[in-house]
Structure 1
Amino acid sequence: MQHFFKLSLLSVALLGSQFASANEFWSQDRQWLLGDWNGERKQLEDQGYKFTTSIMSQAATNLAGGYNDDNTLENAGQLTLGATFDLNKIAGWENTTAAIMMTKRDGNSLTLERIKDPRSSALGNTQEIYGRGKIWRLTQAWVKTGFADNTVQFKIGRMGMSDDFNSSQCEFQNLLLCGGQLGKSIGSIWYNWPVGLWGANVKYQFAPEWTLGLGAYEVNPDNVKTQSDSDGFNLDMNNVEGATIPVELAWKPKLSMFDGLPGEYKLGALYSTAEAKDVKTTGKVHDGKQSFWLNAQQQLTQQGADPKRGLYVSFNGVINDKATTTVQSTQQIALWYKGPLENRPNDSVGFGLANYVVNERVQDRQISTNQSRGYDSYDAFASDYIPIQRDELNVELNYTYQWSPAVMLRPNLQYIHQPAGVKEVDDAWVAGLSMRVNF
């Protein structure tokens, strides 16, 4: 419970300092927790150098249900160190930006410790920042430049794929409700934050409201190794198995049907040239695999004169290759209201649902394997029994308390139906608390 007490004490300190002045440590106007370095930080940004340091912590405790209902609390953490360089200001290179970012993850997952049957592969996670190893990683190291009045943008270097394709809002602690979905359902070829990989992409704004993007990224299993910090800084391409090629069409209507409020709609597809194993037939290999997706985000209402306050909605849907992918499809819908209180314009209330559907061909393989071992029904104790996976539904209700640009707290309540897609495991209730501090 040590992590929980630390987070609770921090919450009390924040609430107790509500009336701090703008120059004090816990001021609601404070951009960074460690301040502006006597004005030097702002001066560096004006010169083209922007530095970021942040810590994200996500605690979760099981209230009821799950595979093991013994109550515990697990905390996952992430440290991020980064810098962005405006090369127009620094070197006179017009429309050119560079960035470098390193991350370190640590902690444990409540889903792995209590929620899912340990014999099943995980689908969701109650803490979205858990995963890809407790190591340092070079998450970003790229350069982006624009041509033709910046209507064409070219980016190359080390990056995550959802930085530029299948990206979406993250207003939740639950993994299935946070950001793009491809890295959660085809993680063997699509790498999200914090994994960085060699890639390049080009975006062409061919009309004021329309942009077409095309990318190419390495498929290299060395990038997701987690044995040591050196694995997180692997820069060679010795074991590249192919390339993942995404294409995405994005529409940002200037005048939407919702009183002209902003929105973005994206339709995309990918093809991977890396060989992929068939999920049902042992030994069968396919030349590649493909996926399709739809992302939509729309502001529905505006509260008062503040253009950012109001109700937002997002939808994310993915259809994966049935021959080679365990998770055949995902659906996610989320609503959040920003600025629910007049004196808290940057707070928000969020509610979301996310569903992951396991491929029926995977279920057939699991059933036949169990039958070959003499099992005709769920066995809670046999170590060689493989639980049959179907679909998993995740629900989250939260309140985001944005004390200042430097400090965010997000208490949340989560419900997981059929953890890891196993209907014999009790539905679980989880209480969580996310905290982000920008230094």
Structure 2
Amino acid sequence: MFQRFNGCAWKFGLFSVGLLSCQISLANHFLSQDRQWIFGDWNGQRQALESKGYKFNASIVSEAATNLNGGYNDEQAVRNAGQLTLGANFDFNKIAGWKDTTAALTVTKRKGDALTVARIKDPRTSTLGNSQEIVGRGEIWRLSQAWIKTGFADNTVQFKIGRMGASEDFNGSHCEFQSLLLCGGQLGKSMGSVWFNGPVSVWAANVKYQFLPEWTVGLGVYEINLDNVKTKSDRDGFNLDMNNVDGVLIPMELAWKPKLAMFNHLPGEYKFGAVYSTAEANDIVSNQVRDSKHSFWVNAQQQLTQHDQDAKRGLFVSVNGVVNDKATSAVSSTQQVAFWYKGPFESRPHDSVGLGFANYSVNERLTDRQRQLNESLGYEEYDAIAADYTPIQHDELNIELNYTYQWSPAISLRPNLQYIYQPSGVKEVDDALVAGLTLKLNF
């Protein structure tokens, strides 16, 4: 199936007209605005299976980007990347009478190129942001989910075990943007050597306890095994052994879901968390081996307004902050604030407008080390081409403005503009302006 879409979905460039034309031949009415899935309801069998506890999904997300101005290399280029997802969810209460028990199985494949790597950042630096969040972790098939979850005590206690990514249940956040730094949980981006987001999965278990109607506490244990992030072959994406486990990741999170009077009793969620890694980690300056690393975070997501009596329309905001261990982390902290308005027009109640800001702060200890290294080689200022020069990194700020055009539940388009201040934190690289387009298709 993936190969069938390869020429159509992965190479359509900035404008996706070619892909839409390709899909018209697959179904007579796939462009209907009330169509739930491009391939339809299988003559009623799809919803019949779901009523029995079997829910299947298939989707493609494709993200294109082009540099309009600035960056390390201002020669204009278009890069496209995408992900195919095939999955199933199982409700075992319907299937076998197991109360409050569900399971999920998901495989994914990514393919494509990153504009940020090709044009935006200095190639001698590590990547901080990316104009296409779907890029990364290799162009291989991966087992992204294989877990089962069950509830106890009227489902106030939930236990989950299997293969999963850490941000499924901890440090999670909305993804209303194409920019990596504005999409989803932040720890997998700034602590990616031990915290693995999807599409990578690891052996893990977690438990969550709702001890009051508005309050939940969660605790998890996730393996740290670099075999899970290898990208040489599809076999790496289905690694299930634990032969090379380096330690465990232990996240803990307290979540509060109030309806505050100051926000007209609209729903919100506020999360406070910390994570401890037992794997050895090198000091970023001295290379001294340390026996652990840690991070702290706060996530806040709140609906601010409601359009008339429609709770699905209105203004929403999310605020995320992470503080990392300065001894072992190149990024010392991250800050993110994002706004989106759902249903901006009466004629487009399912569309949305988004504006987000995300800043990544490079550890000052690393910045000082880079400066000292250049001085030892005789460099007193930025050299744009010398192979042995190490660009000095500071903060990187990403800003994105987008509009999500929800044609139907099966098809959405998200054109966007991104402004990247100090790409990869290098002051001497010109700020970049990027145009992007995200296409989502549910089959």
- TM-score interval (norm. to shorter): over 0.9
Give the secondary structure class of the aligned counterpart of 1:3: coil
- Who is 1:428 aligned against? 432
- The partner residue of 1:7 within 12, 16, 36 is 16
Q: String of CA shifts for 1:325-366, please: whole Å, max 9, x gaps.
A: 000000000000000010111100000000000000111111
State the one-letter code of the partner of 2:309: A
Matches within 5 A, 1:46-85: 46-85=51-90
State the one-letter code of the partner of 2:123: P
Give the secondary structure class of the aligned counterpart of 2:13: helix
- The partner residue of 1:106 within 96, 99, 111 is 111
Number of positions where the alignment pairs a residue of Structure 1 with one of Structure 2: 432
Relative to structure 1, the CA distance from residue 248 to residue 358 in structure 2 (aligned partners, 3 Å threshold; closer, same or farther) is: same
State the one-letter code of the partner of 1:178: C
CA contact (8 A) 2:68 2:432 kept: yes
Q: String of CA shifts for 1:277-336, please: whole Å, max 9, x gaps.
A: 001113x01110110000000000000221110000000000000000000000000000
State the one-letter code of the partner of 2:409: P
Q: Can you give the 5+ residue segments of structure 1 that lack an aligned partner in the other structure? A: 18-22
Matches of 1:210 and 1:204, distance apart in 2: 8
- The partner residue of 1:302 within 303, 306, 310 is 306
CA contact (8 A) 2:336 2:359 kept: yes
Matches of 1:409 and 1:176, distance apart in 2: 20
TM-score (norm 1): 0.96
Matches of 2:245 and 2:14, distance apart in 1: 45
Matches within 5 A, 1:286-301: 286-301=290-305
TM-superposed CA distance for 1:368, in Å, is 1.7
State the one-letter code of the partner of 1:3: F
Q: String of CA shifts for 1:54-79, please: whole Å, max 9, x gaps.
A: 00000000000000000010000100
- Who is 1:209 aligned against? 214
Q: Does 1:359 align with 2:363?
A: yes
Relative to structure 1, the CA distance from residue 6 to residue 424 in structure 2 (aligned partners, 3 Å threshold; closer, same or farther) is: closer
Matches within 5 A, 1:86-97: 86-97=91-102
TM-superposed CA distance for 1:8, in Å, is 3.2
Q: String of CA shifts for 1:3-35, please: whole Å, max 9, x gaps.
A: 227613456999xx9xxxxx9321111110000
Relative to structure 1, the CA distance from residue 256 to residue 244 in structure 2 (aligned partners, 3 Å threshold; closer, same or farther) is: farther
Q: Does 1:325 align with 2:329?
A: yes
Matches of 2:335 and 2:432, distance apart in 1: 20
TM-superposed CA distance for 1:130, in Å, is 0.3
Give the secondary structure class of the aligned counterpart of 2:167: helix
Matches of 2:219 and 2:39, distance apart in 1: 40
CA contact (8 A) 1:256 1:262 kept: no
State the one-letter code of the partner of 1:215: G
- Who is 2:35 aligned against? 30
Matches of 1:144 and 1:435, distance apart in 2: 31
- Who is 1:378 aligned against? 382
Matches of 1:271 and 1:132, distance apart in 2: 23
CA contact (8 A) 2:12 2:18 kept: no
Matches of 1:430 and 1:3, distance apart in 2: 17
Q: String of CA shifts for 1:156-178, please: whole Å, max 9, x gaps.
A: 00001000000000000000000
CA contact (8 A) 2:68 2:433 kept: yes
State the one-letter code of the partner of 2:13: F
CA contact (8 A) 1:84 1:99 kept: yes
TM-superposed CA distance for 1:117, in Å, is 0.2
Matches within 5 A, 1:396-407: 396-407=400-411
- Who is 1:368 aligned against? 372
Give the secondary structure class of the aligned counterpart of 1:117: coil
Matches within 5 A, 1:96-245: 96-245=101-250
- Who is 1:390 aligned against? 394
Matches of 1:52 and 1:8, distance apart in 2: 24
- Who is 1:313 aligned against? 317
State the one-letter code of the partner of 1:124: G
CA contact (8 A) 1:65 1:427 kept: yes
CA contact (8 A) 1:314 1:334 kept: yes
TM-superposed CA distance for 1:254, in Å, is 3.5
Matches within 5 A, 1:405-424: 405-424=409-428
Q: String of CA shifts for 1:100-137, please: whole Å, max 9, x gaps.
A: 00000000000000000000000000000000000000
Q: String of CA shifts for 1:220-276, please: whole Å, max 9, x gaps.
A: 111111111100000000110000100000000144421110100000001000011
CA contact (8 A) 2:14 2:78 kept: no
Q: Identity of counterpart residues, as a percentage?
A: 70
State the one-letter code of the partner of 1:411: P
- Who is 1:346 aligned against? 350
Matches of 1:107 and 1:89, distance apart in 2: 39
